[in-house]
């Protein structure tokens, strides 16, 4: 049996970090077992779904590195849902209801006021043909519910362990709206069966839905997949993350310059007891992924953690990984350059500042008390070409000549050559600036 998971977003908005976590878990679980990862667009809501959002989802998954092996769209499978619905209707497992949203809302409020759970009372099952015809004559269209058995549903959850839901405590789920469009439950179940999904990995807010879906699977005549329900994410302060999710879209995080692997490294470990570590590629996450390590306590997401991981990933990034991107932004395609600057960037876009630091223009900074020292430094500069050893040779000679040491020796040179009081190590930076530019900056600084 080939393991196959599915990530099933609705193309009605942008993906956020919660979606990314679901997609990543599905991807890692499948790939850790040489399985397949499916992207399924749950686009039954034709009014709200758009090609623009589908395209944005494709871009976000590509950025994360989560390439689907198979792609499907629910909007292309309406005929199949109709076929299953007809079969269920013939078995008496779905039934027509005529209550309006306002009437259903009043029923729920009355039940709550009496201290009862707001479960649908199945009043529609008692309707006669004449009563149904009367409702339709006044313009009402039926919505349809799947009739639950009222029995206990059991499954062994890969994260939560043994689960039991009494379906008598649930409302019969609406599977079709009055306008004929499909809700989530029936299309999702049919697709999971038809598309050979072996494992459904999703948030714990779907636990109750799972009981209804297992009964629907049995009614269709299929075998239920394995289920795994992971805990939801909270903000760093314990607040509901969904209230701020708009500012945590993947498009927004990508636009801020975050590395995809900084986000992947964090959310792959959130909810586990394992330490969060900067990881350079998905292969490392795949080899270390164990879904049983996910706990039931809510995971806390802090964007500051992504920022810290981002810097650490860049500081450890190999030249081989960085090279194509250096070429794209016109940075020196040189390993010495990358190794010299990577420890001083928080975002890859910062490389452009490093290029300016090397190529100029910069404004040298020389304090009055350092003017003579800079003249002496110019005279003591090693001959061209400058190498990785030139900085040590130069500063050793200046220390002997001037008696300066420590900050008093190094800082005036840094400020004269870069116009900054901080930055990459000068032993790496000096040969990148090059002899001619060093001379020009020392000369300009001493004038």
Q: Which H/E stretch holds residue 335?
A: helix 335-341
Give tens-digit pLDDT for 233-262. Answer: 888 888 777 655 555 899 999 999 999 999
Give tens-digit pLDDT for 298-339. Answer: 999 999 999 999 999 999 999 999 999 998 888 888 898 999
Percentage of residues in the chain having pLDDT higher than 90: 89
Reduced to 3 states, what is the DSSP secondary structure of residue 156?
strand
Report the pLDDT value the prediction gives residue 334, as an integer from 0 to 100.
87
Report the pLDDT value the prediction gives residue 343, as an integer from 0 to 100.
92
Give tens-digit pLDDT for 83-141. Answer: 999 999 999 999 999 999 999 999 999 999 999 999 999 999 999 999 999 999 999 99
User: Quick check: 446 pLDDT over 70?
Assistant: no
For residue 241, which of 184, 293, 309, 303 has the smallest C-alpha distance?
Answer: 303
pTM, entire model: 0.89
Report the pLDDT value the prediction gives residue 241, as an integer from 0 to 100.
72
Give tens-digit pLDDT for 193-245. Answer: 999 999 999 999 999 999 999 999 999 999 999 999 999 888 888 877 765 55
User: Quick check: 176 pLDDT over 70?
Assistant: yes
Report the pLDDT value the prediction gives residue 242, as an integer from 0 to 100.
62
Alpha helices in 221-318 (DSSP H): 250-255, 260-267, 282-287, 303-316
Report the pLDDT value the prediction gives residue 133, as an integer from 0 to 100.
96
User: Quick check: 360 pLDDT over 60?
Assistant: yes
DSSP secondary structure, 102-119, as one string: HHHHHHHHHHHHTT----
CA–CA separation, 359 and 430 (whole Å): 12
CA–CA separation, 336 and 326 (whole Å): 12
| Rounded CA Rg of the chain | 31
Classify residue 29 by burial, with Cβ atoms within 10 Å: 0-12, 13-18, 19+.
buried
Percentage of residues in the chain having pLDDT higher than 70: 98
Across 360-372, average pLDDT: 92
Report the pLDDT value the prediction gives residue 388, as an integer from 0 to 100.
87
Burial 31-41 (b: 16+ CB within 10 A, else e): bbeebbbbbbb
| Sequence-distant (≥ 6) Cβ neighbours of residue 442 within 8 angstroms | 364, 374, 377, 378, 381, 416, 417
Name the CATH code of domain 368-446 (choices 3.10.129.10, 1.20.1050.10, 1.10.10.350, 3.40.50.970). Answer: 1.10.10.350
């Amino acid at each position: 049996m080939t393991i196959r998971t599915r990530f099933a977003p609705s193309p009605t908005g942008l993906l956020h970090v919660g979606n990314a976590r679901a997609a990543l878990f599905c991807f890692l679980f499948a790939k850790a077992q040489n399985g397949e990862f499916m992207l399924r667009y749950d686009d039954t809501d034709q009014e709200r779904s758009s090609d623009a959002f589908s395209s944005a989802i494709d871009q976000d998954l590509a950025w994360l590195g989560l390439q689907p092996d198979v792609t499907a769209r629910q909007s292309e499978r309406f005929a199949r849902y109709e076929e299953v619905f007809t079969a269920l209707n013939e078995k008496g497992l779905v039934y027509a209801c005529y209550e309006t949203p306002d009437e259903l809302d009043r029923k729920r409020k009355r039940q709550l006021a009496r201290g009862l759970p707001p479960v649908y009372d199945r009043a529609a099952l008692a309707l006669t043909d004449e009563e149904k015809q009367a409702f339709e004559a006044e313009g009402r269209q039926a919505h349809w519910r799947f009739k639950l058995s009222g029995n206990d549903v059991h499954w062994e959850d890969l994260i939560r362990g043994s689960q039991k839901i009494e379906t008598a405590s649930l409302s019969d789920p609406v599977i079709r709206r009055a306008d004929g469009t499909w809700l989530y439950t029936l299309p999702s179940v049919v697709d999971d069966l038809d598309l050979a999904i072996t494992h459904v990995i999703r948030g714990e807010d779907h636990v109750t839905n799972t009981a209804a879906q297992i009964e629907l699977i049995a009614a269709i005549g299929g075998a239920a997949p394995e289920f795994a329900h992971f805990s939801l994410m909270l903000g760093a302060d314990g607040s509901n993350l969904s209230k701020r999710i708009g500012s945590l879209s993947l498009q927004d995080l990508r636009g801020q310059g975050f590395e995809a692997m900084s986000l992947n490294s964090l959310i792959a470990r959130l909810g586990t007891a394992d330490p969060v570590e900067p990881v350079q590629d998905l292969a490392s996450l795949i080899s270390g992924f164990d879904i049983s390590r996910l706990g039931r306590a809510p995971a806390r997401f802090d964007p500051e953690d992504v920022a810290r991981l981002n810097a650490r990933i860049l500081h450890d990034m190999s030249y081989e990984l960085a090279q194509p991107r250096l070429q794209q932004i016109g940075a020196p395609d040189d390993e010495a350059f990358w190794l010299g600057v990577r420890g001083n960037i928080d975002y890859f876009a910062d490389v452009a500042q490093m290029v300016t630091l090397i190529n100029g223009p910069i404004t040298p900074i020389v304090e009055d008390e350092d003017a003579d020292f800079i003249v002496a430094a110019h005279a003591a500069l090693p001959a061209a070409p400058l190498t990785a050893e030139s900085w040590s040779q130069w500063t050793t000679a200046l220390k002997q000549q001037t008696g300066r040491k420590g900050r008093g020796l190094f800082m005036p040179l840094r400020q004269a050559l870069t116009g900054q009081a901080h930055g990459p190590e000068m032993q790496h930076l000096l040969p990148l600036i090059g002899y001619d530019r060093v001379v020009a900056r020392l000369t300009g600084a001493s004038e």
